[in-house]
């Protein structure tokens, strides 16, 4: 058996998220179908970051094991068969047993906001239009509280199959480039909706509807209803996944 | 009469260019309709850079003279009425007699190419996918020949209403940012298709189909058929327009 590592990007607008679901258009289903057509073998993908409906990926990583021979131009051929809203940027045979999910050391997500009074035709579906006042100091103060191990129960839906609610955030910060204000966060792993609820709750602190001390208290575990709204999916991107290079 | 300066951006994909034409969807027609609804007066726009079908604008400038009172929130109200592929970023009353076309000192265009083996869902319609070999030195050598006054007859359609074919290029250069290779050029004025034929012809030099000396000779005036193909419109952006600040 050979392990194959796939790097890909996708525009999440046209997908009901990553994971295969009967009758729904998902990234996994489209990608497996294209790979199976090229390899003439069943393909079962494992993924580093399971994205939800509407969430984008800039550098997602998936893997599968196969007995098929891997053509050198697998990426090009699968791209030719697959839809235009997914692009495989690399497809390479790697050491046997590589698993994109299990071997990932951390995931990085970015949430993008367009902070100007008018929306932009070039940012439709690519960022959250946020023509409101932004308190950058409040946002930065929130982000500084994030690194470390916290109980994120308040930041994921009540109906969940998660068993443990602690996650370790490695880095978190806001940055501005032109009219785009971004929140970037790296963690060992994320729970469902976690980045979007973090963003929604920090925007409450920015607008004065929430306080920094209330935000800090939420990181020690609280009910979902105590945190802010879930920011919409079209501003969120899985940016990258880190692996041990050795 | 008051002169009003409008700054706007648009995604060119849905428009048959800037200029009004009976029965066709154009930027001018959509914008005048939205402004007329707010002002309850006829609006006749003058524009700094008349873009062709499919060409984008990042910071286009238009103007009109009106007897109507200009509300402070004209941009916001016109954006609310206009389509999502146009955004007015500023609408301000300026000194009487301002004319966006006549008063412009120079225009800057950018042509964007995606230079990687796979296309990108985030670059569909926003850049020309160019998975071919690029000879950056050849492109740079071409760009260095451009500043100055030249006869651009070879770089505009044979069927044209231009009378003079000399234009003065102020600056021109190629730059790479990630996978995006851009050609940016500033001139006093441009002829129809001029930037797109320049890019198509420089890409011929890059691929070895044309030579630097042949490119240089074209700048002294030649038939259209001697220059390269017209690069597609979806890679081209009107980036900005310069005015005398005094």
* Distance from chain centroid for Cα A53: 11
Indicate the residue of A75, A118, A122 with minimum beta-carbon distance to B79: A118
The pLDDT of residue B159 is 74
Contact A121 B75 (CB under 8 A): no
**pLDDT over 80 at B160, yes or no:** no
Chain B residues with CB under 8 Å of A88 CB are 118
The residue among A51, A76, A112, A122 with the most chain B CBs within 10 A of its CB, best to mutate, is A122
CB A111 within 8 A of CB A201: no
Mean pLDDT, residues B215-230 taken together: 94
The pLDDT of residue A1 is 87
Mean pLDDT, residues B28-54 taken together: 97
Chain A residues with CB under 8 Å of B75 CB are 117-118
Provide Rg for chain A, Cα atoms.
19
The pLDDT of residue A163 is 75
pLDDT-flagged residues of chain A (< 70): 160-161, 246
**pLDDT over 70 at B13, yes or no:** yes
Interface pTM, i.e. ipTM: 0.92
Strand partners, A94: A3
Contact B87 A117 (CB under 8 A): no
pLDDT tens digits along B61-88: 999 999 999 999 999 999 999 999 999 9
The pLDDT of residue A246 is 59
Contact A89 B118 (CB under 8 A): yes
**pLDDT over 80 at B245, yes or no:** no
pLDDT tens digits along A19-37: 999 999 999 999 999 999 9
Residues of A with CB under 8 A from a CB of B: 9-11, 56, 75-76, 79, 84-89, 116-122, 124, 126
Contact B87 A121 (CB under 8 A): yes
Mean pLDDT of chain B: 95
Q: End-to-end distance of chain B based on CA atoms, in angstroms? A: 21
Chain A residues with CB under 8 Å of B116 CB are 89
pTM of the model: 0.93
Find the residue in A nearest to B74 (Cα): A118
Find the residue in B nearest to A131 (Cα): B76
CB A174 within 8 A of CB A136: yes
Chain B residues with CB under 8 Å of A11 CB are 121-122
Q: What share of chain B is helix, strand, coil (3-state, %, to 5)?
A: 25, 30, 40
The pLDDT of residue A129 is 98
Question: Which segments of chain B are extended strands (E)?
Answer: 2-10, 46-47, 56-66, 86-94, 104-114, 128-129, 148-151, 166-177, 180-187, 236-243
Indicate the residue of A10, A88, A118 with minimum beta-carbon distance to B88: A118
**pLDDT over 80 at B237, yes or no:** yes
CB A136 within 8 A of CB A130: no
Q: Which domains does chain B have, with CATH numbers?
A: 2-94 (3.30.70.580), 105-243 (3.30.70.660)
Indicate the residue of B75, B79, B122 with minimum beta-carbon distance to A11: B122
The pLDDT of residue B88 is 98
List the one residue out of A113, A179, A124 whose CA is nearest residue B10: A124
Contact A10 B121 (CB under 8 A): yes
Catalytic: which of A52, A99, A135, A179? A52
The residue among B121, B131, B240 with the most chain A CBs within 10 A of its CB, best to mutate, is B121
Residues of B with CB under 8 A from a CB of A: 9-11, 56, 75-76, 79, 84-89, 116-122, 124, 126
Contact A76 B117 (CB under 8 A): yes
Q: Read off the pLDDT band of B246 (50, 70, 90).
A: low
The angle subtended at Cα B199 by Cα B198 and Cα B201, nearest 5°, is 65
């Amino acid at each position: 058996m050979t392990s194959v590592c796939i790097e890909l990007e996708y525009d999440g607008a046209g997908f009901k998220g990553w994971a295969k679901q009967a009758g729904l258009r998902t990234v996994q289903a489209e990608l497996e179908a294209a790979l199976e057509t090229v390899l003439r073998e069943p393909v079962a993908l494992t993924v580093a970051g399971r994205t939800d409906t509407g969430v984008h990926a800039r550098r997602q990583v998936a893997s599968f094991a196969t007995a098929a021979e891997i053509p050198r131009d697998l990426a090009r051929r699968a791209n030719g068969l697959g839809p235009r809203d997914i692009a495989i940027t690399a497809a390479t045979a790697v050491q046997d047993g590589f698993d994109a999910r299990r071997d990932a050391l951390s995931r990085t997500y970015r949430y993008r906001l367009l902070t100007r009074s008018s929306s932009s035709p070039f940012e439709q579906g690519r960022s959250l239009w946020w023509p409101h006042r932004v308190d950058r100091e409040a946002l930065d103060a929130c982000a500084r509280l994030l690194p470390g191990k916290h109980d994120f129960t308040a930041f994921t839906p009540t109906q969940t199959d998660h068993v443990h609610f602690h996650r370790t955030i490695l880095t978190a910060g806001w940055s501005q480039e032109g009219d785009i204000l971004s929140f970037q966060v790296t963690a060992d792993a994320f729970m469902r909706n976690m980045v979007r609820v973090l963003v929604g709750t920090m925007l409450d602190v920015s607008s004065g509807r929430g306080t920094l001390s209330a935000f800090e208290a939420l990181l020690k575990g609280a009910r979902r209803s105590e945190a802010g709204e879930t920011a919409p999916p079209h501003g969120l991107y899985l940016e990258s996944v880190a692996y041990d290079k050795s």
